[in-house]
Amino acid sequence: WLQVLNLTHSTYNIFALILKPLITLVTYYQSIRANKATYLYRKRLIHGENFVCAGGVWMSDFHEVKKNLIEPQGRTFLLAPSKLDKEHLPRKSNGDLTFLLSLSQKGAEGNGDWEAYRAAFEDHITSNSETLRRMKGDQTTKKLMDRLVEDYKRTEMEKKGPFFDNNDDGLQDFLLRYLHYVLFGLDPFDEKIMAELNNLHYDRYSAVYYLEVFGNAIQNLRFRDLPKRIERVAKIYEESPSLSDFQEGREKYKKMTKHDLALLSVSIMAMAGLIGPKTLVNILLGYTPLPSYDGQKTGKIDVVKVWDQIDFDDRDEVKNYVYECGRLRHPVSNTHKIATSDFTIRIGSKDVTFRRGTIIFIPMQLASLDESVYGEGTFNFNHRRENLLQSSTIFHSFGEQSSGRICPAKKIVENMAIGILIALGKSRRQAGRSLVYESEYSRDYSC
């Protein structure tokens, strides 16, 4: 109830002001913990579908999450529940913010900036014809996939170790090269360019630079050259094939320059473009286990045993495997919006009114664990369940429905993940490493 008091107290509430330092510490602690699905699930068990945590209101009812995902969203400076550093986010030369995750949409007090900059990003990076051609596969992507398979074989196909956590080899190296080739058209075998990208995004933890407190700490204590490194990578993006035909000064993009789009791209790749796919693939390959939700046996499910049984000639089955893994452990468990008017919801046994401007967190992970929707088998692994794709929230959408904030690289990541599962899965079978899955629950692949 400290958090409720913090969000609802009047300006002159002396008690709330006295407790402000304590509430700040609690909020900071919770903002770190709230990135974990198990923490959020425990909160829901204790407090019910609606609760207050990490400085915002969480409404985890399946239909409420769906509503919040398909309606326009107002935004503030948050990445999930973690605060972003306003000074480190990309801006145009006139000071206008371009960072998509912190811009509000029209219909949620936005001024059209989000729509313009999102269009520029999609038109030239995630959805242009050349990107989609590369996504479908060519000799370059085949060579990269063959190289990944060889790395997997060399590390003996283990669910841990250098294949997953080496910056210069294995999965992370593949993702860096593959995604920069598909999205930007960069030569994935140009070692000078790849080394520059690796240095920023992996060696210097580029995502951390954009976080409040941590960003200044990592820059001042360890990597003082981060701003210069960001500019160097922005230059690489600016000169990439994907941005080659970008026309500056267009009203459609609110007179965005090529450099503006390149800087935006650096931030997106740092905070989502590499971390999101890596998190998802780690789950799919068994490196990151499914969460141990309170009172459930999900933590005992070995997804690799399911992966070893699926039909690799059936891409739809492989795709369903991707979505069921994601349902039980989202790559990103939550997002947020800003209330554009006062609202009242039930917290515990009381109706509580919150003011306009309150942060409303959208716990996509909890929606995927709603037993009123998925029934008794909610915590079982069943990639053949009905409406799996149509109800999925793993790409910041409800299936294909969204307010426009659906992951812009959804098709690319989905296609890449399917390709990885098929290529590595076949190599496992050829090497005799496929696991025989025997369980009394084999019908729905639970444990």
In the 3-class helix/strand/coil scheme, how is 324-340 assigned residue by residue?
A: HHHHHCCCCCCEEEECC
**Predicted pLDDT at 321:** 98
Q: What is the pLDDT along the chain (447 residues), one digit of tens a residue?
A: 566 756 666 565 676 677 777 778 888 889 999 999 999 999 999 999 999 999 999 999 999 999 999 999 999 999 999 999 999 999 999 999 999 999 999 999 999 999 999 999 999 999 999 999 999 999 999 999 999 999 999 988 888 889 999 999 999 999 999 999 999 999 999 999 999 999 999 999 999 999 998 888 888 888 889 999 999 999 999 999 999 999 999 999 999 999 999 999 999 999 999 999 999 999 999 999 999 999 999 999 999 999 999 999 999 999 999 999 999 999 999 999 999 999 999 998 899 999 999 999 999 999 999 998 998 899 999 999 999 999 999 999 999 999 999 999 999 999 999 999 999 999 999 988 775 433 333 344 443
Length of the chain: 447
Report which of 256, 333, 312 is spatially closest to residue 99, judged by C-alpha positions: 256
Pair of tokens at residue 193: 């360019």
Distance (Å, whole) CA 186 – CA 265: 14
**Predicted pLDDT at 15:** 66
DSSP label of 220: H
**Predicted pLDDT at 18:** 75
**Predicted pLDDT at 2:** 61
Report which of 381, 375, 293, 339 is spatially closest to residue 40, judged by C-alpha positions: 293
For residue 398, which phi and psi values (nearest 5 degrees)? -110, 95
Report which of 99, 71, 66, 67 is spatially closest to residue 85, judged by C-alpha positions: 99
**Predicted pLDDT at 80:** 93
**Predicted pLDDT at 442:** 37
**Predicted pLDDT at 443:** 41
Contacts of 250 (CB under 8 A, 6+ apart): 256
**Predicted pLDDT at 440:** 31
Give the residue carrying structure tokens 């696991």.
Answer: 435
**Predicted pLDDT at 444:** 47
**Predicted pLDDT at 10:** 59
E strand or H helix that includes residue 301? none
Rounded to 5°, the CA angle 8-12-18 comes to 80
**Predicted pLDDT at 218:** 85
Distance (Å, whole) CA 43 – CA 304: 29
Distance (Å, whole) CA 140 – CA 213: 40
DSSP label of 186: -
Intra-chain end-to-end CA distance of the chain, in Å? 37
- Sheet of 335-338, strand order: 50-53, 56-59, 359-362, 335-338
